[in-house]
Structure 1
């Protein structure tokens, strides 16, 4: 694989996200959607999309299977994202999201997706290993498909280390634990993922930050970017802890908020920004995504506006 980009994202379990809105969700009756929207989805794909929107450039590596896989690639082409894909036997998954207008609630249906055999998931590792020139940032994000071993992201982390790249990871469960044991540059857990990784249940933001610092001190990550919902967010390194209270907004959808946060953070770090400046834009991008229904992700004008409302505290 040859072309230049400072950032490459890896999404082993991508999807096409379908979203609509209905007045009320009730059983048996036909629920007629008021809208229909299809977006390319999956953690790393969303990261690449947001980086593109913010004025950066990122390439996306992901598998494609069947008609949905072809649609996924077409949707990314339309957004100007450079794709590097490999073909799998199974059909790329679809997810769907329904906004219930009367109750102001959102329902998220995440489908299991295809199973990858050993030849298929090893093709991803081969694609990554053959990137020339190698990116400075390799962002691996999202769930692992059935058939892919728990240490898949740890194997990618080893490739990144060998090539001198910064490995950024956003996943959960055994896949996160295995990669953290290998050691990565940056992880972006939410509170549930931190609970799984640390086995602890801190009671407040400070205690969560202490738990994140312990991960850094153990060599599991150089930076922990911790998103804490109503408690805000924190950026934890060996030398400092930055905390940002949540921006007071009324959320319409949480889909892709974490991906937008990570995209802005990585893009600004890759651009040479300071950690506080990168963290500020990340918090703004995550909040900007909450403003819109369905699977739209953040808009650059909202990110710019909200960045001025972010308060960064050094703890």
Structure 2
């Protein structure tokens, strides 16, 4: 007779619970951030709102370090598993797939707006600063926001409350997080929640790869700003193409940029529907824990 493994005690169950792991991640990120902040100050690096053009690889690496270390700690020490969603062997192919998809998506939106006369190219800028914007909009947003929104919030909420709740919660958090951006409105936050929050959540669900999400997120931002010269989430950009948006705000997104455009919302909704169709065909949508228990005992 095989001996039964002892069940974990109450403290262990609390630590490994979904709420416990959420708290552990954010607390550990904050504590690591305090240490990294001391290192940052000791190196004499600039504080406050740094212009994109002045951000260096070291600055962006120190910004991301608390999030990355807290996630590795959560997965390896608390969950005691491999980082399959960030497996090294998947890095290159999945990043390239995401980068290509993100570039294609923003190019479709820009092309559609151009065809409608809402996106106008005025010329070419030859003094574009690429490094800083790519670090902030591509690496910073792609890595940091995807780990928090999809790797932590979506994944853990899905584990407890199911896929539908995870999509709702992660999309609300993701959209709400953009409310403090320049030129943000309630509509722009809602648009980002619907077109990007839901899509990236389902993209992670069907691929189980943060690499794909990071690549798509990074390419979307970099193509908008440094390439097409469109404001990215409210931040004005000096891109390779000197351009401007014209027409009604509902079409162009106004000062916030095309992420608040109905054209982007339509494309994002289409991509979301495609990912949902894949999930439904695979029967991979996760029910909430109480329905899983009912099935297990039914």
TM over 0.5: no
Select the structure of larger CA radius of gyration.
2
Q: Counting strand residues as a fraction of each chain, which structure ranks higher? A: 1
TM-score of the superposed pair, with normalisation by structure 1: 0.30
Report the TM-score when normalising by structure 2. 0.31
The structure carrying a bigger helix percent of its residues is: 2
